[in-house]
Structure 1
Amino acid sequence: MTSNTVITTILNKLDSLTPKGQIIGNYITQHPTKAVFMTIKELADACKTSEATVIRFIDSCGYKGYSDFQQNLKGFLDTGLSLLERGDLQGINKPGMNRLNNVVLDELSNLQHLYETIDIKKLEGVVNTISENSTVFVTGSRLSYTFSYFLGWSLSRIRKGVYTIKGSDTTSIDLLANAPEKSLVIMIATTRYPNELIKLARFIRREGHTLLLITDNNMCPILQFAQHFLQVPINSIAYIGNTSNMMCTLKYIVQEIASRQGEALEEHQKKLEQVYLENDILFNLQA
């Protein structure tokens, strides 16, 4: 269901639906920011129909279930919503809200969703792909550069051959053009997707490198260029950006790769610690 948006799918199906199905379809297309947070019962009540009718509507649109439909609708909205629209969803302008409570509960809900739904096989595939490549570039842009910097920095603490590059920096193209053949490039992309990352992904594919995409949405436009792909599931639409799920996933990847390094890990980290000490890089209580 990723080639068309939810709204396009519903509009294409609308004429062939039952009258009650058309009411549901029209409600969703006209009020997507409300429908995305509704339970089956709430959507049925809003459309003055039954829960069974809602389930039949979802099935007729080709979704595996209500959860699948909601995730696709969330993905559609998360890709296109402006900052102002996101602010409205989060009640930014509403006085008297318990924001700390809302933020913490939202993050806990997201983390539970991550734990319950992430594709373990794809996650293990990502670990294997990174472990098997001697030269690894990590890139991102805007918010996702925060994640790519964390991943690149962390990987360089447990192994050699890791380089972090900025997706917004045109010199990244120079670096990748001169990189060893079939290098692995890990690109982290989060909504809303910067055009510079799409252009860079196209270049990476054209150069014959291997692109591993880590993203938060199965509608990410960079998917078409990636040989490997991991979606980090998120259960809400963030105001500025969701950080917890992506950071937890990256921390797992780093720790799992470290656990497989054997004696090479100890040797690499001893060398780093010696460099830190000799060059007075880190604060030392014993100095």
Structure 2
Amino acid sequence: MPTVTLAEDIRQRLGDCSPAERKVGRILLAGWPAAGFETIATLAERADVSAPTVIRFVNRLGYRGFPDFQAALRTELDERHASPVTLYSAGNYKAAGSDSADVQAGAAGLLAHGRKVFTAAVDRTLAEVTPHDLDRAVQLLADPKRRITLAGGRFTNLFAQYLGLHLMQVRDNVRFLPDRAVERTALLASLARRDVLVVFDYRRYEEDKVTVAELVKEAGGRVVLFTDTWLSPVSTHAEVVFSSQVGAPSPYDSLVPTLAVVESVVAGLISELGDRAHQHMRHSEEIATRSGLT
């Protein structure tokens, strides 16, 4: 599974650095990831430190030198933009053999591997969610004065729909980002301070999600982001960021940990709304029954 990203590693280690080294770390983070590919001399000048300080900083991160650090950054960026095709090629996946015993052995091994991968991924993902972020997301989604808009990507639109349908059962003013240009334009033009955008954006990130998040923030609204460990560019505009592990026994990123986070948010929302959620659910059920929609 992916380890801590380089940017996150830098953030976590700043407290252990000397004042001069912290300057280097902050310059790197402020211009991430492009700043990581600048020369030692350029970074030193921008941070107002010596070149040896830059080298000491990357040594503190565990790298033999600056070229070693830059090589690790290139590898991480390749992973950040990896597609199922490139993951398939790198993983050397093989089809099960035709012999029934091989198929059974393969299936047993796959289940054992899947149990290990998915259990560890869910455990690590939930362990890295901070109580503050979960509380803040719940507060935003529970506020009856706020209007919720959900958006997803190629596969993650399923999760936007899943979370949105749950929200619709317990509160009003929930909608999905439209696909048609005229409808989407009308929605984006009407954004205001009371709007909350919930967006799911995973590697091979989609540029339109960044634009929508920018517009929400410019209007004074809030953004809640579900993403992977490499962090969508939307994270720059998000008040709450939920990052999930995506390791899987296939060339496709796993969304199992993301579902666990979504379910945790739903549980928190039900608890926060209390009787209001129950009343809304009962009213919705009555309308559905009268309309023959149950």
The answer to whether residue 100 in structure 2 is matched with residue 86 in structure 1 is no
* Worse-matched range after superposition: 99-108 or 271-280: 99-108
CA contact (8 A) 1:123 1:230 kept: no
1:126 aligned residue: 137
The answer to whether residue 278 in structure 2 is matched with residue 272 in structure 1 is no
Alpha-carbon spacing, 1:180–1:271, altered in 2? closer, same or farther (3 Å): farther
Partners of 1:252 and 1:198 in 2: how far apart?
25
Out of 192, 202, 205, the residue aligned to residue 217 of structure 2 is: 205
Deviation digits for residues 21-56 of structure 1 (CA, Å, limit 9, x no counterpart): 9xxx9xxxxxxxxxxxxxxxxxxxxxxxxxxx9974
The answer to whether residue 32 in structure 2 is matched with residue 4 in structure 1 is yes
Out of 101, 113, 116, the residue aligned to residue 112 of structure 2 is: 101
Over aligned residues, Cα RMSD in angstroms?
Answer: 3.6
CA contact (8 A) 1:75 1:217 kept: no
CA contact (8 A) 2:202 2:231 kept: no
1:69-84 paired onto structure 2 within 5 Å: 76-84=77-85
1:38 aligned residue: none
The answer to whether residue 203 in structure 2 is matched with residue 191 in structure 1 is yes
Deviation digits for residues 53-81 of structure 1 (CA, Å, limit 9, x no counterpart): 997428989x9xxxxxx9x8886344211
Alpha-carbon spacing, 1:5–1:103, altered in 2? closer, same or farther (3 Å): farther
Seq. identity, % = 13
Partners of 1:74 and 1:106 in 2: how far apart?
22
Partners of 2:175 and 2:202 in 1: how far apart?
20
CA contact (8 A) 1:140 1:148 kept: yes
Alpha-carbon spacing, 1:279–1:58, altered in 2? closer, same or farther (3 Å): farther
Partners of 1:208 and 1:218 in 2: how far apart?
26
2:63 aligned residue: 57
Alpha-carbon spacing, 1:281–1:115, altered in 2? closer, same or farther (3 Å): same
| Secondary structure, counterpart of 2:198 in structure 1 | strand
CA contact (8 A) 1:74 1:236 kept: no
Partners of 2:220 and 2:128 in 1: how far apart?
32
Gaps of 5+ in 2: 1-6, 8-28, 41-50, 98-105
1:42 aligned residue: none
Deviation digits for residues 134-165 of structure 1 (CA, Å, limit 9, x no counterpart): 32111122222111111111111111221122
CA contact (8 A) 2:196 2:216 kept: no
Partners of 2:133 and 2:174 in 1: how far apart?
21
CA contact (8 A) 1:141 1:194 kept: yes
CA apart distance, 1:5: 4.1
2:21 aligned residue: none
Alpha-carbon spacing, 1:182–1:260, altered in 2? closer, same or farther (3 Å): closer
CA contact (8 A) 2:203 2:230 kept: no
- What TM-score, normalized to structure 1? 0.69
Alpha-carbon spacing, 1:213–1:205, altered in 2? closer, same or farther (3 Å): same
Alpha-carbon spacing, 1:262–1:54, altered in 2? closer, same or farther (3 Å): closer
2:270 aligned residue: 258
- What TM-score, normalized to structure 2? 0.67
CA contact (8 A) 1:135 1:180 kept: no
Gaps of 5+ in 1: 26-52, 64-69, 283-287
